[in-house]
A and B are shown apart, each in its own frame.
Chain A
């Protein structure tokens, strides 16, 4: 039976297509070897004279920013005096379906806020990144706006992030803070640049 095909003679003879195919491969080779690598995280925007066709990102060295709404690793939001906003109410720990938050409460002697967390630990291996803790928090003290994920660790205990590790990022102040602690507002904090704005933020214009 004669095979039915829509290939023409040159394609069936193979030589021409072989040479053309090798030409394509060779063109890619030389363009990528001699080309200029644009490490733009937006791969579609890698343009310019002589830019090669490599679309890889060398991941740990080069990263693409997560989208704005990304639910990333937790942080304990600091007040402008550097202490955590957390009042150790246990609502996040209660809301957590994975039970990865461990809190031990302590008491301030001299402040209007009575309670603070002595220990605040999140096991990032157990966390299912649902965001319920953020929803549950009445003081906007825990957020997932770090724009990163929990880092890879070499052993399980290292994945338990304590209060010191979680307390990072820009400070947030709230109108109700005026009633609760007696430190002068508007003191220059460590990082006065505006963090992500959300409900309750007072932007200093």
Chain B
């Protein structure tokens, strides 16, 4: 009856309302378990892949007769910067949008399709094709330089690079794994094991100011200049707090090296080996795990430095210019310093923000969340892997340690994204007041208190101080809350 004219086909396709198919609880349970399994499996695979890639580079370096000694560094640069940071930052561009949607009771972007691949024609794939769509959009947009910026074309082009590069360079000092043996080679997933680790963090965090200031100034646009000024002032202000909070961690661990800091928050390889070897028949370890305080508490930085950790997270959020500290960009109304950038340069600014998020989360993990350490169970893993799988337990432990680092890092990123939607954007004067009049004095007091307690009671004293601080924070949050007002009856059904 209906002819095959184009409009007839359209009419027949669009005729009537379609109801969605309600999924059964069985398929929902299956989907949830399969999704989480795939996610954790992917993280485990990435952990193994990072180690294997570094090992491969070391092997390739061994094949070269010239003794150049750079292969571990190249391997870790490839594995950490290009694989870990870049993949995480790329996925975060999508995760940001999807997680924001979940926090705001939305579905999130799911319109992009990979229709070229046969079988995927009408599948949203949970929005993953949007990553590709975003990248292609950035690549193929016109790269336009405004007339006013032509005079400073070099600096104009340099600014996105200066915003982008420090984020990646910062990851050089983040320890993703301890020094370990993987397939017969000693290596560590850390690009640079340098004595000035934290100083390097401060120095490169300051370099990021140049990117924003240059971008604002060379754009030759009043609004961009104002955005650049806001950004520069904010970054300079919060660097102070950022540095002072890490001074507390410095006192606790007594080292500027991030790998030493991470190492001190768990068992060393030697003590794991001893503990795994010296276990009695019922599986109890005869070696006392001296990395736990009071016999049960993991000696993570967040235990010693609760205020330092919270202040560092807040200051870092301001330092990477993410909401609620995003007055420099103000993407929705007050336009920010990268106003005049288009195409891939604008994309560089955007991806730099996510890379900075990853790096900050890595630093927080390394200093405050025990780095790659799994508390309590490291000897058990080695011993069971040795016993049941018949292979070196330390290789399994290495993969699991990298895995735990990535999981902790993702958790910190998630907390930062939660904070992004929990707060409205701070006004410029509020940012300055928070930075100079609240966070700076508190971080100074934290440094003084930490130093005093350390001199008086050592690490155990610091642990007690930290627990008391946690107790104070929790009781303040839990006990001081105002009783809920009874809701009006008509609002109960909204």
CB proximity to B under 8 Å, residues A122-167: 146-148, 151, 153, 158-162, 164-167
Q: Decide if B110 touches A148 in the complex (CB within 8 Å).
A: no
Most buried by A among B10, B22, B28, B99: B10
How long is the Cα–Cα vector from A155 to B435 in the complex, in angstroms?
A: 56
Tally of contacts, chain A with chain B, CB under 8 A: 134
Q: Decide if B32 touches A164 in the complex (CB within 8 Å).
A: no
CB proximity to A under 8 Å, residues B3-19: 3, 5-8, 10-19
Chain A residue total in the interface (Cβ 8 A): 58
How long is the Cα–Cα vector from A25 to B480 in the complex, in angstroms?
A: 21
Question: Please, which residue of chain A has its CB at the minimum distance from the CB of B421?
Answer: A25
How many whole Å from A118's CB to the nearest CB in chain B? 14
How long is the Cα–Cα vector from A48 to B25 in the complex, in angstroms?
A: 11
How many whole Å from B316's CB to the nearest CB in chain A? 16
In the bound complex, residues from chain A placing their C-beta under 8 Å from that of B423 are 18, 21
CB proximity to B under 8 Å, residues A44-71: 50, 52-58, 61-66
Interface string of A51-95 (1 = CB under 8 A from B): 011111110011111100000010000100010000000000000
How long is the Cα–Cα vector from A18 to B421 in the complex, in angstroms?
A: 11
**Chain A residues with a Cβ under 8 A of chain B:** 8-11, 15-16, 18-22, 24-26, 28-29, 32-34, 36-41, 50, 52-58, 61-66, 73, 78, 82, 146-148, 151, 153, 158-162, 164-168, 190
Known: A26-B418, A56-B107, A146-B15. A39 touches B21 (CB 8 A): yes
Cβ-based interface call for B288 (8 A): no
Known: A58-B110, A168-B2. A161 touches B102 (CB 8 A): no
Contact of B107 among A22, A36, A58, A164 (CB under 8 A): A58
Contact of A168 among B15, B17, B22 (CB under 8 A): B15
Chain B residue total in the interface (Cβ 8 A): 44
CB proximity to A under 8 Å, residues B322-348: none
Q: Decide if A73 touches B10 in the complex (CB within 8 Å).
A: no
Q: Decide if A29 touches B481 in the complex (CB within 8 Å).
A: no
In the bound complex, residues from chain A placing their C-beta under 8 Å from that of B22 are 38-40
Known: A10-B481, A151-B11, A151-B13. A41 touches B419 (CB 8 A): no
Cβ-based interface call for B105 (8 A): yes
How many whole Å from A84's CB to the nearest CB in chain B? 11
Q: Decide if B106 touches A54 in the complex (CB within 8 Å).
A: yes
Question: Please, which residue of chain A has its CB at the minimum distance from the CB of B493?
Answer: A44
Closest 4 CB pairs of A and B: A39-B20, A164-B3, A165-B8, A62-B20
